[in-house]
Structure 1
Amino acid sequence: MIKFFGNVPEGGIIDSCELANKKGMTMKVITYGATITSLKIPLKNGELLDVVLGFDNLEAYLNSFNLKSAPYFGATVGRYAGRINNSTVNLNGKSIYLNSNNNANSLHGGNIGFSQKQWKIKDIKEGKNPSITLSYFSQDGEENYPGDLSVDLTYTLSEENELIIDYVANTSEDTIINLTHHSYFNLDGHNSTIIDQKLMVDSYGILETNDQNIPTGKLLNLENKPFDFKQAKKCPQAIDTTFVLNESDALSASLFNPKNNLAMFVYTNQPAVHIYVGGNCFNEIKSKENTDYNALSGICFETQNFPDAPNHKHFPNAVLKKGEVYQHKTIYKFQNM
């Protein structure tokens, strides 16, 4: 079901689409940033619980990018998720100077990344395993990235209460790419905190970073360290860290709420997951249901390549060549334990 959600300042129309599977799981997504605004999971007691942070109106989403730390609630991040050091990469022997929006660095695609773009609804499938496919065409030179990049993003609600995200992209010339999803999850509901929920990450190391959260190129062993979450333990109250995953397409991370016995399991074909706790709107913007979000309102599982990978030869390849296809799949599976 497609509904009008609002108008962007330049005059374009933003639509909202709601999908529901046969189990009662529902999702709302808007064409602004291909953003998930609501994700409701059926609990054992029959209650529908909204497990992602978000806003009720388009104006709030627009204004959130003017906060001192934009939250990117539920958005699709690109062309390159995470930070790129000095906003510069070397591609095919040529230096490319990207737009800076995080000190001298480029963060989450630059000044106006995919999170602030108007996506188009390409296809909707209802019934069993409903899905919506959104597309975005990023022109050569947008935020100074090379190549015309065409992206298709499909959200599917499976009958096993999975949110499945599939990204497919191709380019007219060699470029760099790193897409991710930026929902803040809270298995106690979007108007609670995550401090009593338990986190597990199947990782052997994290990326060392400097004081601007730029990777140094070194990998830090996690064994017996504070951020060793191979065994589930309480969510940290402050984290903004890239975890290197042990195995592709296996269980990468999980979140569990002992209050209602709801669990979320994360699977991805990407080499890393960036974990971030936050959601603070600094009492400047009211969120869904007139909620004031704070620094402990939600936790992100940003499955992706390594931040700043183009500037480290030993990091996984982040170059998409002309004629090749970028494919990224992530699954968030919800289960009543």
Structure 2
Amino acid sequence: MNLKLKIVLLAILISGTACQSQTKSTVIQEEVSLTIKGEKVDTWEGQDVLHYTLDNGAMQVEMTNYGGIISRIITPDKEGKLENVVLALENISDYFTKNGPYLGAAVGRYANRIGTASFTLDGETFAITKNNGENTLHGGSKGFGVKVWTPEVYKTDNSVGVKMTYFSKDGEEGFPGNLETTLWMELTSSNELKLRFESTTDKKTVVSLTNHSYFNLSGITGDIRDHELQIFADAITPGGPGQIPTGEIKLIAGTPFDFQTPKNLGAQLDALGEGFDHNYVTKRENSSELKKIAIVKHPESGRVMEVYSTAPGVQLYTANHVRNFAGADGKTYQPHYAFCLEPEAWPDSPNKKNFPSASLSPGEKYVHEIVYSFGVEK
């Protein structure tokens, strides 16, 4: 639904970190209107926490500047029924203490794992926080997903969004360099949720940022075994102890990891005999190409999601460790109640010379774009 629309932007004036209020009204085309609403819901570590609702008239996305979290994505099925399709907590304040699984969070400085919680740059070794056995996961014990970002609402001709910034000081969680990161999160009139990360540093460092949403296109009516998945990748980077990659790039044709053609997730889970938590090779080297990396379908509801990214890899995770987890709307989440497709650098790239580099030097800009495109098949 590519409609050239005028925008109604509704933003509530909040003191502190929030942007200044503006209200603009114009004649809206009847087919759909784009709106954004914001409100202060709490404070965390002395900073205002805001909740935003982005609406294009067909679907809604809810998010917060706490952790850059996407808290709900509400989309229609083939009958027009609107349901949330991501695992969520009931209230934004719940994310402060109950978000062990990183539901919907912007994770960094380094998404996924870094082995031995250390890496070397130009001969200098950096010890970073251990929070996953002897390794580092998703940036350490207090990564980007638990920080309050500075928000600003914005509009374009066919989208509304929130621009968020976070300044990570040199030495935070052990990572070198003052890292300034901006995250744009916007909903378009064509049912796309677009994310763009940009980072700069004043000292050579490593960076890999992504979003950690847990999807269930059924509206979370059960597990994801009835979903159909296709990943445009012919290899994975298999893991060893602690799920740290061995350094091998392993072709997957004919194995349970093979989603090069659409496969039923339940059948692949049965064939594997365990849950998925693996990095798929979507590119062999870094590039700025925005590439379609996956398609997911839920036949019963008709919902379809396409995923695009500029990153060289995507982590497929099937919520293997989510058990008896109290979620939103009175639902209790269990293993395989959702899947994550986390576009990112390959895990442990800072320690694998044959992997695409995840380093960032002064004068360079890290850019990662992700697009989640939603639709239905009847």
Question: Which interval holds the TM-score relative to the shorter structure?
Answer: over 0.9
Matches within 5 A, 1:105-116: 105-116=135-146
Distance apart, 1:191 and its partner CA: 4.3
Give, in whole Å, the separation in 2 of the partners of 1:296 and 1:113. 25
Could you say which residue in structure 2 is the equivalent of 1:306? 346
Is the 1:184–1:279 Cα contact (8 Å) retained in structure 2? no
AA of the residue aligned to 1:273: V
Counterpart in the other structure of 1:244: 281
> Over the residues paired in the alignment, what is the CA RMSD in angstroms?
1.6
Question: CA 1:59 to 1:122, structure 2 compared with 1: closer, same or farther past 3 Å?
Answer: closer
Change (3 A) 1:60 1:191: farther
The structural deviation recorded for 1:127 is 7.1
Among 307, 328, 335, which residue is 1:288 paired with?
A: 328
Equivalent residue number for residue 267 of structure 1: 308
Structure 2: which 5+ residue stretches go unaligned? 1-36, 270-274
CA drift of 1:124 comes to 2.7
Match of 1:256 in 2: 297
Identical aligned residues as a percent: 33
Q: Name the CA distance, whole Å, in 2 between partners of 1:63 and 1:251.
A: 35
Q: 1:305 to 1:188 in 2, by over 3 A?
A: same
Q: Quote how far apart the aligned CAs of 1:120 are.
A: 1.1
Which of 61, 67, 83 is the matching residue for 1:33? 67
| SS of residue paired to 1:100 | coil
Q: Give the equivalent residue in structure 1 for 2:51.
A: 16
TM-score by length of 2: 0.84
User: Alpha-carbon deviation of 1:87?
Assistant: 0.5
Cα displacement (A) at 1:319: 0.6
Once residues 186 and 156 of structure 2 are traced to their aligned partners in structure 1, the CA distance between those partners, rounded to angstroms, is 10
Q: What is the letter of the counterpart of residue 278 of structure 1?
A: A
Query: 208, 217, 236: which is aligned to 1:178?
Result: 208
Q: Is the 8 A contact 2:207 2:358 kept in 1?
A: yes
Judge which range, 180-189 or 38-47, deviates more. Answer: 38-47
Aligned to 1:206: 236
Q: Residue 223 of structure 1 is aligned with which of 243, 253, 256? A: 253
Q: Does 1:7 align with 2:43?
A: yes
Query: Contact 1:121–1:133 at 8 Å: present in 2 too?
Result: yes
* AA in 1 matched with 2:360: L
In 2: Cα distance, 1:126 partner to 1:158 partner: 9
Instruction: Look up the equivalent residue of 1:30 and give its one-letter code.
Output: T
Helix, strand or coil at the partner of 1:289: helix
Higher Cα Rg, which structure: 2
Matched to 2:223, the amino acid is T
Normalised by the size of structure 1, how large is the TM-score?
A: 0.94
Contact 1:33-1:117 at 8 Å conserved across structures:
yes
Aligned-pair CA distance for 1:90: 0.4
Residue in 1 that maps onto 2:21: none
Q: Please, which of 322, 333, 337 is the counterpart of residue 362 of structure 2? A: 322
1:234-290: CA deviations, max 9, x gaps? 12441000000158423211110010111111111111000001175533x521101
More strand per residue: 1
Amino acid at match of 1:61: Y
Matched residues in 2 for 1:155 and 1:190: separation? 23
Q: Which runs of 5+ in 1 are unaligned?
A: none
Task: Tell me the distance in 2 between the aligned counterparts of 1:127 and 1:49.
Answer: 27
What is the SS of the residue equivalent to 2:339?
A: strand
1:335 aligns to what? Answer: 375
Q: Which amino acid aligns with 1:46?
A: G
